[in-house]
Structure 1
Amino acid sequence: MYVTYRYRNLSHAIDDPASPLREYFHRRFPNVRPVQDGYRQASGPIVVEGVTASPGTVAAAFDLLLRFRLDAGYRPRVAAAAEAISAVPEHVATVSDVAAVAGAAVRPSSDGDIESAVAVRACWALALTTELYRNPLLVLGSPPAALIRDGEFTTEALLALAPDDVVELLGALYTRAVTALADVLAGPHDAVALGPAFAGSRWCAADADVIVDGTLIDVKTRMGNRNKKSGVRSDSLPRNDIYQLLGYVLFDRPDEYRLTEVAVYSARYATLHRWPLQQLLDTLAGEPVDLAAERAAVWELLGAQDDDAGAVVEPSPSAVPAPETAADPEDVSAPAEAVVADSEDVSALSDAVVADPEDVSAPSGAVVADPEDASAPSEAVVTGGAEPDGRRGWQRLVQWRGRLFARRGRS
């Protein structure tokens, strides 16, 4: 019986040497060097340093800050999707209240100021509750889970979770972003999509960070590579990041978002890199590219049917992108790679993969169990719409803890 490659999410497909999608990107768009060189030349020195917390949580919280700045009424559903939260209406209301606090805090006042510390604390709390959904096995080391166990899951307690150094770091990133992304963050806009999923996300979980008026923006908060001699860090654009952008563009088979430009915002370098979409495709391919034809080719690789090309894909309930993969494996400040439940992924953290090499990493000190072997065989039946592995993992953990406590009670 003929079977096809099973796509877990876009990041995994790009990382996996056995993936037909990765092979296609390498063969069809091999000329990444000109794009990488231009990226390095446009990058200045790092302006916001500091590695005081989980890089993945920092990335997720910063992404949320930008989303709330673009839409103060934004409500990240995935932040309340963890079983321990979604099963209790009062907990869901608390998470919604934290989101409302974030939206109100990022809205500029008459003098242009914002309550950045309050916004940061709210977004940090939402990033932590999102991690509790994406990686349910973090429950034993998750600060929100501890609040639930202690009966203290309140708005005030969640806002108090962010350490002062995290508030300072994210505040600095956000302050820089308000200037560097002034034309993006300032309205009005014709169309804004936060954490958008794509038609192809049905077969390979993928969602971007933000799309504003036809410009797809991927947000990065990584430190960059450190020169071993000088100790100075510099920014770079790994090949897989470029292919991640391509994946988003080519997954949009019906051209729902009318993309005309792609961009990467490097938060620690406060630099927005932009490329006209057609120019980027032609440069990477080394020849003129027919966008519709390339989207059709990717559609076939995903195992999708032609009559599904115009299907509307509901955004997955994710809100925050997962952390980025390190360009330099020796860079100790890079987040450890983790498995993200097939949702939006990180996103497609729309409302995530982010899913997105952007898989969510655990909070500092937490242990993450990989629910899926990364070395899984390259041939498997394509599936879609299955229950996320993370939710099943949560249920197994709850059952295991229940049995453990029952034994302790009998002893």
Structure 2
Amino acid sequence: MTDNYVFSTLTKAVKEKSPLRDYFDIAFPNRRSVNSRFRASSGALLVPGQGANPGTMGTAFDNTVRLRLAPEEVPFPVLHGAGKLMGAGGIALVGELSDLSVSSRENLARVAWVFALFTEAFRYPAVLPASLEEALESGLGDADSFVGLAAPGIVEELLQLDDVADAKLYPHLTKPVTVGPIFHGLPIAADADLIHDGTLIELKATLGRSVRGARQDELKTESLLQLIAYGLVDAEDTFSISSLALYSARYGHFEKWDLAELLQELAGRPIDLVEERQRVQDLIKGKWLSPLAFDEKNSTRSSNRGP
């Protein structure tokens, strides 16, 4: 890893002030029309929040999808979070929980929540979720005890999200799915949610924005740019990604874009995918630390720039 490249994950490189984010803002400024169409194609909020931490709930929903599609493939943050907290016993516990998740829909939801807590322990080791900290202090050690950390309201919300996914997400997954694809050969961590038949799919469980007292789905700039980053980070074309999709779980909203067409609309110019993928690789690897070296004559700084 290059010493002066300080972003540990692709998500952070997109969300924070980084050479990659600077380049995206210069090269792909025309986001407003994409955002407007996304909002227009979405419906009403189907699953409101019930008070649980929104970020933890989003991770838990991701886990329900992963556990349904590939219960034997445990996400890296879950394993490392449990391992850091409980050593070898934590790794064994994760295996027991994975086995338990297939026994019923309720246990699927409970295990998904516990996995989300372990993920938070991995991401933010200095501040453990209170329920997890209490469980460790009280000496909980088996799978049946840990699934009790998911309160009834949390289980109900996850089951509602799963019901909506049955109707709105899984019908799109008609062929084998790559769960948690990892993009190798980078100095930062980059793993997406799903790839299905050349489409990279990101899962979101955000509540959206409040408009005159009602919730409305939205495509945040960071979410759109994260999708683009995943579409461009595969320089070797290992996964043959030709399209992108975002599934908004609380709205049952599945939106799909052709990768090349989306980039061309965002850029306002013709796009060469091979060149763009190499440019993103260079930025991530720190070979080209100033995105301002990009020829701005080719970038459309239009009034159509997104929020």
Cα displacement (A) at 1:281? 1.3
More helix by share: 2
- Contact 1:203–1:304 (CA<8 Å) still a contact in 2? no
Larger RCO (alpha carbons 8 Å, 6+ apart)? 2
- Contact 2:175–2:196 (CA<8 Å) still a contact in 1? no
Matched ranges for 1:5-404 at <5 A: 5-17=5-17, 19-82=18-81, 83-85=83-85, 87=87, 89-102=88-101, 104-105=102-103, 115-139=104-128, 141-185=129-173, 187-189=174-176, 192-199=177-184, 202-227=186-211, 230-303=212-285
AA of the residue aligned to 2:134: A
**Alignment partner, residue 342 of structure 1:** none
CA distance in 2, matches of 1:278, 1:217: 16
CA distance in 2, matches of 1:10, 1:234: 27
CA distance in 2, matches of 1:219, 1:123: 14
CA distance in 1, matches of 2:65, 2:172: 10
Q: Which moved more, 1:2-11 or 1:122-131?
A: 2-11
AA of the residue aligned to 1:122: V
- Contact 1:215–1:263 (CA<8 Å) still a contact in 2? yes
CA distance in 1, matches of 2:190, 2:63: 17
CA distance in 1, matches of 2:93, 2:31: 45
Q: Deviations over 1:337-361 (max 9, x none)?
A: xxxxxxxxxxxxxxxxxxxxxxxxx
CA distance in 1, matches of 2:158, 2:135: 23
TM-score by length of 2: 0.86
Q: Deviations over 1:8-40 (max 9, x none)?
A: 3333323334x2211211111111112111101
**Alignment partner, residue 372 of structure 1:** none
Distance 1:27 1:90, change over 3 A: closer
AA of the residue aligned to 1:64: N
CA distance in 2, matches of 1:86, 1:76: 17
- Contact 1:99–1:126 (CA<8 Å) still a contact in 2? no
Cα displacement (A) at 1:264? 0.5
Distance 1:71 1:304, change over 3 A: same
Report SS of the residue matched to 2:202: strand
- Contact 1:36–1:237 (CA<8 Å) still a contact in 2? yes
Cα displacement (A) at 1:136? 1.3
TM-score by length of 1: 0.65
Cα displacement (A) at 1:3? 7.3
CA distance in 2, matches of 1:182, 1:94: 28
In the alignment of these two chains, the number of paired residues is 287
Report SS of the residue matched to 1:138: coil
Percent sequence identity over matched residues? 34
**Alignment partner, residue 318 of structure 1:** none
Distance 1:194 1:142, change over 3 A: farther
Cα displacement (A) at 1:273? 0.4
CA distance in 1, matches of 2:192, 2:113: 20
CA distance in 1, matches of 2:175, 2:231: 24
Distance 1:75 1:280, change over 3 A: same
AA of the residue aligned to 1:30: P
CA distance in 2, matches of 1:211, 1:128: 25
Unaligned runs of 5+ in 2: 288-306
CA distance in 2, matches of 1:5, 1:125: 33
CA distance in 2, matches of 1:71, 1:84: 24
CA distance in 2, matches of 1:216, 1:289: 19
CA distance in 1, matches of 2:108, 2:15: 34
CA distance in 2, matches of 1:26, 1:85: 39
CA distance in 1, matches of 2:68, 2:117: 19
Unaligned runs of 5+ in 1: 106-114, 306-327, 329-411
Distance 1:149 1:300, change over 3 A: same
CA distance in 2, matches of 1:73, 1:8: 26
CA distance in 2, matches of 1:153, 1:3: 40
Cα displacement (A) at 1:57? 1.1
Cα displacement (A) at 1:75? 2.4
AA of the residue aligned to 2:194: V
